[in-house]
Amino acid sequence: MELMKTKSVAFRCPVSLMQRVDAVADALGVTRTALVVEAVRMLIREVRSRDGRLVPPYSCKDSLAALKAFPEKAARDSAE
């Protein structure tokens, strides 16, 4: 088996997010590095599937469907 070359990187991250990363890594029995690498791979696949957009394009119909999923928000918004 050929070993993949790696590079050490550093980035800033909110403490609360890293605590969640560590908790998920512990629960899955993987290292923080393994979890972050897989999360980045998943994000890259998702962005590629959306033609380079971080979020999918939303239509007015999608927005209305989202409001129906949160009736309390829809009621509050219509009252304003």
pLDDT value of position 3: 79
- According to the 3-state scheme, what is the secondary structure of 1-55? CCCCCCCCCCCCCCHHHHHHHHHHHHHHCCCHHHHHHHHHHHHHHHHHHCCCCCC
- pTM beyond cutoff 0.85: no
Report the number of distinct structural domains present in the chain.
1
Give pLDDT tens digits for 29-42.
999 999 999 999 99
| Structural domain contains residue 6 | no
3-state secondary structure of 57: coil
Give pLDDT tens digits for 27-79.
999 999 999 999 999 988 888 887 777 776 666 666 666 666 665 555 555 55
Domain limits for position 59: 15-79
| Structural domain contains residue 36 | yes
> For residue 80, is pLDDT > 60?
no
| Structural domain contains residue 58 | yes
| Structural domain contains residue 20 | yes
C-alpha to C-alpha distance for 23 and 19, rounded to whole angstroms: 6
